[in-house]
Amino acid sequence: MKIKEVQIRKMKMTMKSPFTTSFGTFQDKDFLLIEVTDELGNSGWGESVAFNAPWYNEETMETNLHMIRDFLIPLVLEKEISHPEEVNDLFAPIRKNNMAKSAIEGAVWDLYAKRNKLTLTEALGGTKDKIDVGISIGIHEKIEDLVNTVQGFLDEGYKRIKVKIKPGFDVEVVRELRNQFPDVPIMADANSAYRLSDVGLLKQLDEFGLMMIEQPLASDDIIDHAKLQAELQTPICLDESIHSLEDTRKAVELGSTKVINIKIGRVGGLTEAKKIHDYCAEKGIPVWCGGMLESGIGRAHNIALTTLPNFVMPGDTAGSSRYWEEDVITPEVVAEDGVITVPDEYGIGYAINWEAMERYTVDRWTFKA
Ligand SMILES: O=C(O)CCC(=O)c1ccccc1C(=O)O
Ligand SMILES: [Mg+2]
């Protein structure tokens, strides 16, 4: 197939409620959507998960716009691509900028699946028709408010509770949650808020039987995480530190991580995500799919990825209604009793809600050969 046209849409959506992590609060989401069109008129969609500010990683919506427009689109336009795995090779001359690459690569996967009358799940080799999902809950000023929020999501049926922690909002919070919810699978995500010297404090979390602690130490570290894991009973799960299969291999070999959170954008696309999945399956490392507060487009990609067999733990892919008054896809993603039914339409499996799509679009650019 040949990519004849690429369109970038700049989107502006506002989440129903603010989401606070150790590095800042999100509510307004400005992000990019990509639509690629082939010579037969088929189209595929991808989402850039870069945020407005470079808090989670160094990319932003604006750096992604620059990379996509000035470097990545020229590498795919008019190229003969027989399989989306080739997009990685086309992008190889460009260093990093994984979220920008992933936005286009994801669109090419959707296009490829639709053109070949496959679901994205089938194109990836996924094996599930339903996936279990958990929910990620931001930092709340008051522990009692957090307890109420957790109870609400448990009532909706989410299979696992992830809470954000940071220094000063950690041991007591987890203790209270464990008291209130003795049997619920709970995990904590620190988003790199601690140093190895906090080992004493982090060890105090061991008594609460957390499923795992996500990214306790620096986003560029795998050495100190290995030292920390040797001291902790709670399994460490790396998020920010993993950008590729190579990073995964090194972290697993060092013993820095016992679980991996795979985010498609962070690793540069579905092809690399699948490679990480396959490697972890071989090594007996369970994986789950992380989230970046995506719109329905990115969410649909996450669902398809999660159908691969070694996604054995509930991910952060909650239903659309957890984030948005109205999503850009139809039907919206629905989590019923913590289970999402994998769509059976071709490609990402959801149609565009054009009315919402246009309403949330603030700018757009079209590129042709
Ligand atoms: O619901 C989601 O999409 C996941 C939310 C989440 O935990 C998160 C949100 C923004 C930035 C980083 C993270 C994270 O997984 O670390
Ligand atoms: Mg995380």
Farthest CA pair distance, the chain:
61
- pLDDT tens digits, one per residue of 81-116: 999 999 999 999 999 999 999 999 999 999 999 999
Whether 291 lines ligand 1, by a CB cut-off of 6 Å, is: yes
Averaged over 255-275, what is the pLDDT?
A: 98
Rounded Cα gap, residues 358 and 159, in angstroms:
34
- ipTM greater than 0.90: yes
Distance 17 CA to ligand 1 centre (A): 14
- 368 belongs to the catalytic site: no
8 A C-beta contact, residue 359 and residue 325: no
- For residue 164, give the ligand 1 atom closest to its CA: 7
The catalytic residue among 10, 114, 159, 164 is: 164
The terminus-to-terminus CA distance of the chain in angstroms comes to: 15
pLDDT band for position 369 (50/70/90)?
Answer: confident
8 A C-beta contact, residue 238 and residue 251: yes
The catalytic residue among 10, 101, 114, 263 is: 263
What residues contact residue 41 under an 8 Å CB cut-off, 6+ apart? Answer: none
Q: Which one-letter DSSP state was computed for residue 190?
A: -
How crowded is residue 367: how many other Cβ atoms within 10 Å of its Cβ? 17
What six digits make up the tokens of 212? 């795992």
- 164 belongs to the catalytic site: yes
Query: Which domains does the chain possess?
Result: 3-117+353-368 (3.30.390.10), 122-351 (3.20.20.120)
Query: 244-277 as b/e, with b when 16 or more CB fall inside 10 Å?
Result: bbebbebbbeeebbbbbbbbbbbbbbbbbbbbbb
Whether 293 lines ligand 1, by a CB cut-off of 6 Å, is: yes
Per the prediction, the chain carries an average pLDDT of: 98
Distance 290 CA to ligand 1 centre (A): 7
